[in-house]
Amino acid sequence: MTVVIRPAIADDREDLFRVALASWLDAYRDVLPAAEVADAPAMITRALDSRLAALRIAILDGRIAGYYSLGPPDDPERTNYLWHLYVDPPLQRRGVGRALNRAALVEIKSRGNTLAWLDVLAGNIRALAFYRALGWIETGRDQHGHYDLILMQSQI
């Protein structure tokens, strides 16, 4: 199985929207409030409007299988932040997430970092299992904002 990772381009937008919505709902449909779930299509449209070029997409068998994005490169607090990592539900458990994680860490390292961090919703058991399996270590919890988040880090 070969997964190719490349920057997203404008022509990817329609497929990306489909994958982003399906994978977001897959992760959060049962753990976030109904109002947030109902807003998901609009939220993803806004995200693609503002950040499409920052996404790195995984291509498997000629189709978009998932994506990641990092924090802004010029933000010292988030230059090493793995912000999003999502895989299309029908294509999960085939190593796409592993390939995206690897590429994200390479990109974070290319920014001059030796440590990466991320946060995961505490109720997202599957993502926690995924990140633990890939060597990420829990470093704390952030319950101060709107979400209950588990903080994780990875050496690069």
Ligand X SMILES: CC(C)(COP(=O)(O)OP(=O)(O)OC[C@H]1O[C@@H](n2cnc3c(N)ncnc32)[C@H](O)[C@@H]1OP(=O)(O)O)[C@@H](O)C(=O)NCCC(=O)NCCS
Rounded CA-CA distance 12/25 in Å is 20
Rounded CA-CA distance 80/73 in Å is 8
Compute the CA torsion angle 115, 106, 143, 121 (nearest 10 deg): -150
CB-wise, 109 or 147, nearer to ligand X? 147
Rounded CA-CA distance 17/23 in Å is 10
List 18, 51, 78, 98, residue binding ligand X (CB under 6 A): 98
Rounded CA-CA distance 88/97 in Å is 10
153 is an interface residue for ligand X by CB under 6 A: no
Rounded CA-CA distance 42/37 in Å is 10
In this chain, which stretch among 2-10, 33-41, 46-54, 123-131 interacts with ligand X, using CB under 6 A?
Answer: 123-131
CB-wise, 12 or 117, nearer to ligand X? 117
Instruction: Compute how many residues bind ligand X; rule: CB under 6 A.
Output: 20
According to CB under 6 A, which residues from 26 to 65 bind ligand X?
26-27
> CA Rg, the chain, in Å?
15
Residues 6+ apart with CB under 8 A from 74: none
Annotate each residue in 58-97 with x if it binds ligand X (CB under 6 A) or - if it does not, as one string.
---------------------------xxx----xxxxxx
CB-wise, 20 or 52, nearer to ligand X? 20
Compute CA distances 95 → 8, 11, 110, whole Å. 20, 25, 23
List 6, 126, 137, 148, residue binding ligand X (CB under 6 A): 126
List 129, 135, 139, 155, residue binding ligand X (CB under 6 A): 129
Q: Which residues bind ligand X (CB under 6 A)?
A: 23, 26-27, 85-87, 92-98, 120, 124, 126-127, 129-130, 133
